[in-house]
Amino acid sequence: MSETTEVIIWEGSQSQVLNFGIFISMGIISIILLVLGILFFIPLAALAVIPLVYLFIKWLIVKNHKYKVTTERIFYTTGIFSKRTEALELYRVRDVDMYEPFWQRMFKLGNIALTTSDKTSMNFLLKAVPHPAELMNNIRKNVETRRDVKRVRGVEFLDDDDTVENLG
């Protein structure tokens, strides 16, 4: 049996929409400090830089959350100076769900939650990604393909209360 080539399905990072509240609040605080410094001739104007530095750090953190979804795995890279990359094998994904909070939905963004059998990433979240329904369907389709290639099937065990009568 020939091994297929791993192809990138989607690549991107979290949206800066996650920082919207921080951008607004830090901008307002900077403006207030700047105006107070100018009106009262005190060094408060110099303090206006602090919220801007905080804003920049938050922007940098979100910008450096990178995702790469391939036909075989999902890679998640974080870090600014030191990078850390986690890889999740698609055949280990047990469930794929999509959540679209109102604020994110306004920008055509959403979250994709994966429940997996991977011990280190049992719950994996792709946060604030564009066109989440399309990405969710691509992930689901490739999960099934990888399971077929690996000849892996998930098995669910019923609890004592989960009899056939109680499931219907």
The per-residue pLDDT string of the chain (168 residues; one tens digit each, 9 = 90 and over) reads 445 689 999 999 999 999 999 999 999 998 888 888 888 877 777 788 889 899 999 999 999 999 999 999 999 999 999 999 999 999 999 999 999 999 999 999 999 999 998 888 889 999 999 999 999 999 999 999 998 888 877 665 556 565 545 444
Provide the whole-model pTM. 0.78
Q: Which amino acid is at 42?
A: I
Query: Are 68 and 74 in contact, with CB atoms under 8 Å apart?
Result: yes
Distance CA 117, CA 47 (A): 49
Model pLDDT, residue 118: 84
| Domain boundaries, given as residue ranges, for the chain | 8-150
Angle at 8 between CA 132 and CA 104, to 5 degrees: 20
CATH node for 8-150: 2.30.29.30
Q: Residue 96: in which H helix or E strand, if any?
A: strand 93-99
Counting Cβ atoms within 10 Å, is residue 136 exposed (0-12), middle (13-18) or buried (19+)?
buried
Distance CA 23, CA 9 (A): 31
Distance CA 9, CA 30 (A): 41
Model pLDDT, residue 105: 93
Distance CA 29, CA 34 (A): 8
Model pLDDT, residue 1: 47
Model pLDDT, residue 42: 73
Model pLDDT, residue 64: 95
Model pLDDT, residue 88: 93
Closest CA to 9 of 151, 140, 150, 105: 140
* Helix 20-40 / helix 49-63 crossing angle, nearest 10 deg: 160
Model pLDDT, residue 87: 93
Token pair listed for 88: 């999740």
